[in-house]
Chain A
Amino acid sequence: MAKIPEEELMNSGHNACPGCGAAHAMRYMLKALGKDTTVNIPACCWAVIPGVYPSKNLEVPLLYTAFETTGASSSGIRAALDAKDIDADINVVGFAGDGGTADIGIQALSGAVERGTDTIQVMYDNEAYMNTGIQRSGSTPQGAWTTTTPVGSEKAWKKQPKKDMMDIMESHNIPYAATVNIAYPQSFIEKFKKAAEINGPKFIHIYAPCPTGWRSKPSKTIEIGELAFKSKVFPLYEIENGVYNVYKKPKEEIPVKDYLRTQGRFRHLPEEEVEKIQKNVDRYWDKLLKKEKFTQEELYKEE
């Protein structure tokens, strides 16, 4: 088990809401990567969390960029560092929310990964446009209430499942991709450290609860993270050169409804919808285990 480094590169005095999962995400990421790291941040909660000019609560250089540019910005920073022959061990991180990754930023992300940019592209996933006030994104889970999927008489909660960014990244032949959960800081830090050792593009999908948008108790953020893992709603796995590894499997499994009931955004869901969600979660988990088995035991057996 990795020890959590004591060095703090995120100082107190941030602007995040109480119980913000994204705040944990940045803190643990910087603990893992250390100070030889540049971070570029598009429009998202983290464009505000570091502080208002002239304040800044992070001990790493920050480039704020436009919403859809995270991937291109990472490529630009890396190109300049290479052009200047500056130490190649610097981590160039693009740190975007789910909207800036899965929706408006997906083109620039795809470009950066396809070009083989040596960067860690992070999606801290709070499952909606939280900074603008809880609008649905492509990463909002099935069944969720948001301000643009309101639950009126027409029951217009989000009907579609989440966009699978890990699969999309895998389809780019990315050398390394991993999911991490702020409720499990050891593996969180371990996976970031592993990513830092790999040359080329890396993608890390962070599960980051948002009490404000999820209508959950700020004090329950870590607990919700644990339930997401135990209910298999957010599996913890990595893909290294095409090989899947579900690196942490729940010892005690719980039904999805135990996860859903912790958040007001799901409270409208009738029994049959919860069953549908349970079925989708089970199918995804099953598929994931099959991918793991197939890629480990058959597809890349010779390697």
Chain B
Amino acid sequence: MCGIAGLIHKGKSSAVGSEMTAMLQALKHRGPDSTGYAVYGTPTEGDFIMRLKVAEAEDRAKGRGVHQLIRDRIAVVEEILKEHGAQVKSKDAATEYALRYVLSMTGDVAAMAEHIEENEGVEILSFGNGLELIKDLGDATVVSEQYGLTGFQGTHAIGHTRMATESDVDIKSAHPYWAFPYNDVSVVHNGQITNYWIMRREMERKGHRFMSNCDSELLAVYTAHNLANGVSLEDSLRNSIQEIDGVFTYLVATKDQLGLAKDTMAAKPLVLYESDDLIAMASEEVAIRAILPEEIDTTDPYDEEVRVWQA
């Protein structure tokens, strides 16, 4: 079933971390397996934020050896950073296996990301100037507190509460997906993609990598492929409705944009609220009401609807 939510403030920063937490907590009943956030802060040119995980939460059940394994993997990652000329400005760890680096670099980001991910169990969750992508098992409040998201200020955010139907309950199958290796692009999706394997093979032939067997990852790869080839976000969303089969409503966020696309059957829900300075959308109205308790006007986007908003 899954729940998705998105919000974008026009021309101002707000506490999008706690706003998105409230929205996703209201959608917990749509998916209790994992929760994910992609929040966008003020971008600093030249500074990149990299979030990565070096183990799955379930790996900790393997025993004491995993701590050493995690330390070894982190050491390898830092070696690679050095090799690619990335200077670590700060390093935080919300959990033992989830790290956040602020890097200063000018080199080829994609080459470095590929190099890092060559290592078993290591996956970059996000990379960009403004994007912070957080996902873990548990409900919205648990994940938000674990990763200290409450005080986060930014312009826009998307989020996801997952009910695993097509693949495992783990971090690599949780949303949002970063559109590897495209800076600052993230995707959340509610639905099932029925031509997943055909499209995945096509994308793999074009040289893209898949980290999970989750069908939603395809949307992130597909979007990255289009953006890399100079297609605008709006056109990418519009083309996806014809090229991707199945039922879906998905949201894509970039450094300064938020877009939505609905499949040709309008089979997956979305409620949309638009005002002059705030646009909020979610699978159910309760999520929007979690941040806007007063009386508001909301609508349901129709089939094949594509919208893009600028921050």
**A and B: bona fide binding partners:** no
Residues of A within 8 A of B (CB): none
Interface residues of B (CB under 8 A from A): none
